[in-house]
Structure 1
């Protein structure tokens, strides 16, 4: 009787262990996680010019009037180059007092000498054939400052989609290769995590660069802004068959 009880206890323990072992192999958790990377190189087709127009005068109204005149000069230049002012954006408008320090009875005191009116603007140029001549014309005014020129892509969404598609194909290819090494096949996708696609911009070129363009030739050379790499990455979890 005692031996029979021991045998039954051992049998139950064995069955319990087998049951626990079977539950550890859960098909819903039988997955593979991979990262996919996609990259597309595309030619830059847009330039963004950051400009500043300012004027100083003892009278605020006079400073504003001078700044407005210089702003109109910019509008006229764009019109001469057959460029739309719709791409011109006012980013900041400032009217500030101007001071200077003067010696008075052995001490330095601050006196207001007038006002400074400034406009900060951004212009997106989509016709790069006109970039050199536009920079030359702007630098020639000597009243419109070119703070920087940066390159970009007019329609980044299409390029991002292409890079994402390449990342998806890369992830699937990697997962299929790894699964094959273990005699398995890929099942359906369990989850996907997309990382922010990268649309880089070139280092901005300063006013000195723009001024040098004006001196290079009367007509201005064609500007070549090169190409940019747009990348996307995906983390994908596949079920295994």
Structure 2
């Protein structure tokens, strides 16, 4: 008969669909995040300073600025520097005015010429001495030094490996607690951009007891951080 055969085929097909549906529904999606960090002692210092002069003659102002900049470059040449990092090319010339209350109008003062100096030192123990040299050589402004690490990629990769290991540990703990078995790691992604932050009193100046001695600078550490998200399938 035709009907029983059709019924049997339909029954087998329905049973197969039920089995597949049960297998799919038995899978559980697990999601976990992991953080990792590494504290690194900085081995470089980035300096920036500027020289500014105001003169009614732009040429005279620039001549004075260039003369002072030459003294700065000569002063820092004795230190352990990254030669490729030295840059004193940034120069700006702008007219400057002041408000005259009596005439109620802007009065020309002169031309403000500014030139910047940037460089990286390879010895953090020289921070205080370099700051003193820049100031004594005529820098108009010396910005706060920025501590850095010469191999940031290595430090960041180590932090990332720690974050992944912690995320895997968490997702395995979740599976074990639920009496599940992880079948696959579906994805691993950074939950947020990695970053570097100062940690443990990064830099602190301490006064020297000697009158002609540069201040001692106490240096802390740099913290490289990573945060990842893992999605896994378990049943």
TM-score normalised per structure 2? 0.80
Deviations 1:187-231 (A, max 9, x none): 3321111131121247998xxx98x96897423243222012211
- Note if 1:198 corresponds to 2:192: no
Distance 1:62-1:184 versus aligned 2 partners, 3 A rule: same
Per-residue deviation, 1:85? 4.3
Which of 127, 130, 133 in structure 2 is aligned with 1:134?
Answer: 130
Deviations 1:38-88 (A, max 9, x none): 111111222222211111222111111111111111110111325344222
Which of 163, 166, 185 in structure 2 is aligned with 1:167?
Answer: 163
Give 2:224's aligned residue: 230
TM-score normalised per structure 1? 0.78
5 Å-filtered alignment, 1:1-241, equals 19=17, 22-23=20-21, 25-26=23-24, 30-90=28-88, 92-102=90-100, 106-194=102-190, 195-201=192-198, 217-240=211-234
Gaps of 5+ in 1: 1-7
Give 2:3's aligned residue: none
Paired residues in the alignment total 224
Deviations 1:131-176 (A, max 9, x none): 1111111122343410222222222111110011111111111111
- The two structures, once aligned, show a CA RMSD in angstroms of 3.3
Per-residue deviation, 1:20? 5.2
Give 1:4's aligned residue: none
Deviations 1:104-147 (A, max 9, x none): xx523323232111013332222112111111111223434102
Gaps of 5+ in 2: 1-6
